[in-house]
Structure 1
């Protein structure tokens, strides 16, 4: 009797990269809003604009939480309903039952794709609003600058130093963009190889049909009786991909260190400008927009992920459940059941990750925007500095390395 070997499933194999990127991006958005609020609250028009954008972000987080909760529920339904029904259908030689539940699962997934698409469009509109707010604050800044005939030399020197730092940051960002393209290319190469391997093995092909996580499939290749050449090529591609992720992690650490330096020196400049009655430059809002775009990109990847699952289930239905005979041989029935049981473990873990992502948005929605309830203008200079130091310390603890977890673990 054919048996699929036990898989060792690690977190990295069942968490798409975009899930791990949610926490640092969402944390940075709220903390950068907080810094902006500390800088701009003394200017009523700017404070009103900033408050409106921050509250919109909070509402978007609430909607994002609902979408991730739906992803978690659908993953659980695949585990508790679809997969047991598929095993039962094969055991009973009932193709119509399998087809019925596959179509039901595809309906669940189609609903998720629609919901994610809608939230992505809302992020797009919101990001444009944040961009417009940044422009409005810059306009207000120019008005206040015009009240002074000339900025003092110290402020000018600080502005020039910040511009140099920003140019250095742009160089690092360009390097990260280049390596992300290399990661995408190598990931596609690995996925193509994996699909070719699994297409030649019945057990692996069944597992791959219901598991869209390449890391889990790679482990199944190592654990199955594939030839040494296949395992060697898989490992070589895996190592190349992990090397690129390591390089990205180093660059992201360098980028974040420089960003923190820019934030800190920018705040010193902001206090100088405030003392002169000038609206500080809204650099933090530019960073808010950047990380909101990151979250939007994550949700787009989430949509693509479910579109891939939808396609896989369609292929499974068309290739496996088209004949009334279904699967005749007892050995093949057991192989199918074993593969689906292993897939169940992977999807069960993925459901937990969706739950964690839901919790991220929930926590941010409840706690991260409480600063809007206070008035920084009523703080003494000492209290203002303490609050600023606290926010900056929280920013330093947001580990950019969390964003670079490889799709394949060593």
Structure 2
């Protein structure tokens, strides 16, 4: 059984709020489509392509909203139905009730996993379509430039600076990738440490059967009596993980600052190129692909999370923990007490996860309805109006902080 429990622990999610990472990616995607439309939409062939891709993205967000809502309602069902049934089955020694509830919850979870897989495939296809559109723009741009005079020295100078910024972003990206590798390794080390502790603790073993987040398990390790050095090692590992996460956050903010500076230079370059009848570079479409890839990555994490929850509940139904059947009606008072406490902890974290999903659902709803109104008309022909609209989008982009957007959107949704 130890191996089964280790497997479950390695699949646990650190925080019930991991879906909050959807916010900046979803916010940026719509704004970057708007910028792409402004820069390329005055060229008829490219306008048609961008309209098609943007409409596809709208539909993608509608489907994403439905998936996230399903996650929220299932979380609520677990809190209002499954966990109370588990509590009742333990208090009244009625394991049949627990088994029936667990089987029902498996149906909910399997449906989410299936929907998540479908959404991941949809995002993958859309990312490919955007990449193809970027290639189409580059081809059209090359054909157009054959008929135009040589680029001005000012445009060349701006493009050169943008290239230097791209080099800086590449260096930052490499650093982030290395830190993410360290975070993954440190997470594995922490989860292996927790697994080892849980193998020697009956109460913690029971908690891993019902709480799908490693955070409360670590809190329990720190709050209960454990072997000498266990708390110290747990704290040291969590502190190291926190430090790495902080370093990653700093790099992401630095990268975002560079992106904003690049966007301002790209505006100047785009204006000059449009004046000459030349197609600007499709730089914003490349950023769209990055944002879509981030959303897809989070959906994969969501799919893995629910798969882990499904395996956890299945093990609760079929397996034994520390040599004693949890659902056989013969639990000791100590075991029963730990199990009931775990149910209470699980309720709190599932409620947090459900609320996070509802907030994420709202942002997808807002972005699918309001963020693509720019498609209702062609980009302004007048340069003053064009620049005003571009500047307006840039101001919205500047307000997006990778680490603070979550709180801002929560406030906006609450109002």
TM-score by length of 2: 0.90
Return the offset for 1:108. Answer: 1.0
Q: Give the conservation status (yes or no) of the 8 Å contact 2:17–2:352.
A: no
**2:412 alignment partner in structure 1:** none
Q: Structure 1 residues 297, 325: closer, same or farther in 2, change over 3 A?
A: closer
2:275 is aligned with 1:272: no
- The offset of 1:352, in angstroms, is 0.8
C-alpha separation in 1, matches of 2:104 and 2:339: 20
2:172 is aligned to 172
Q: For the residues of structure 2 that align with 1:338 and 1:149, how far apart are their CA atoms?
A: 75
Q: CA deviation at 1:130?
A: 0.3
Q: 1:347 to 1:327 in 2, by over 3 A?
A: farther
Q: Equivalents in 2 of 1:199, 1:358: separation in Å?
A: 38
The 1-side partners of 2:256 and 2:365 are apart by 25
Cα offset for 1:143?
A: 1.1
The whole-number CA distance in structure 2 between the counterparts of 1:199 and 1:106 is 26
2:144/2:278 contact within 8 Å kept: yes
Q: Quick check: 2:32–2:287 contact (8 Å CA) kept in 1?
A: yes
Offset at residue 16 of structure 1 (A): 4.4
SS at structure 2 position matched to 1:377? coil
Match of residue 45 from structure 1: 45
Q: Contact 2:37 / 2:50 at 8 angstroms: preserved in 1? A: yes
Any unmatched runs of 5+ in structure 1? 1-11, 406-410
TM superposition shift of 1:149 = 4.1
Residue in 2 that maps onto 1:358:
361
CA distance in 2, matches of 1:91, 1:121: 44
Query: Is the CA contact 1:206–1:340 (under 8 Å) kept in the aligned structure 2?
Result: no
CA contact (8 A) 2:207 2:338 kept: no
Aligned-pair distance for 1:335? 2.8
Distance 1:395 1:326, change over 3 A: same
- Please name the residue that 1:388 is paired with: 390
Could you tell me how far 1:158 is from its partner in structure 2?
2.0
Q: Is the 8 A contact 1:89 1:95 kept in 2?
A: yes
In the other structure, the counterpart of 2:9 is: none
Tell me, yes or no, if the aligned pair for 1:22 and 1:357 is still in contact at 8 Å. yes
Residue correspondence of structure 1 range 4-403 to structure 2 within 5 A: 14-17=15-18, 19-320=19-320, 325-378=328-381, 380-402=382-404
What's the offset of the Cα at 1:181?
Answer: 1.0
Identify the range of structure 1 (223-232 vs 183-192) with the bigger mean alpha-carbon deviation. Answer: 223-232
Deviation at 1:322, TM superposition (A): 5.6
TM (norm. structure 1) is 0.91
CA distance in 1 between counterparts of 2:373 and 2:159 reads: 31
Give the C-alpha shift of residue 75 in structure 1: 0.7
Equivalent residues of 1:24, 1:402 under 8 A apart? no
2:404 and 2:380 map into 1 onto residues whose CA distance is 35
Once residues 386 and 149 of structure 1 are traced to their aligned partners in structure 2, the CA distance between those partners, rounded to angstroms, is: 28
Q: Which whole-Å CA distance do the structure 1 matches of 2:90 and 2:147 have between them?
A: 79
Structure 1 position 262, deviation (Å) = 1.1
Cα offset, 1:76, TM superposition: 0.8
Give the 4+ runs in structure 1 shifted more than 3 A: 320-325, 402-405
Deviation of 1:324 after TM superposition, in Å, equals: 7.3
Distance change (3 Å), C-alpha of 1:328 and 1:376: closer
Q: Judging changes above 3 Å, is the alpha-carbon distance between structure 1 residues 328 and 209 closer, same or farther for their aligned structure 2 residues?
A: closer
Q: Number of residues paired by the alignment?
A: 392
**Rounded Cα–Cα distance in structure 2 between residues aligned with 1:404 and 1:198:** 33
Superposed CA deviations along residues 360-393 of structure 1, whole A, max 9, x for unmatched, are 1111111111111132234x32222221111111
Offset of residue 249 of structure 1: 1.1
Alpha-carbon separation, structure 2, partners of 1:95 and 1:194 = 28
CA contact (8 A) 1:27 1:364 kept: yes
Q: Distance in 2 between matches of 1:323 and 1:356?
A: 35
Deviations, residues 37-70 of structure 1 (Å, cap 9, x unaligned): 1111210111110111011011000000000000
Query: Post-superposition shift, 1:329?
Result: 2.7
Aligned in 2, Cα 1:228/1:393: closer, same or farther, shift over 3 Å? farther
CA contact (8 A) 2:51 2:375 kept: yes
Tell me how far apart the structure 2 counterparts of residues 136 and 103 of structure 1 sit (CA, whole Å): 50
Alpha-carbon shift at residue 404 of structure 1 (Å) = 11
Cα 1:183/1:404, change in 2 over 3 Å:
farther
390-399 vs 235-244, which moves further: 390-399
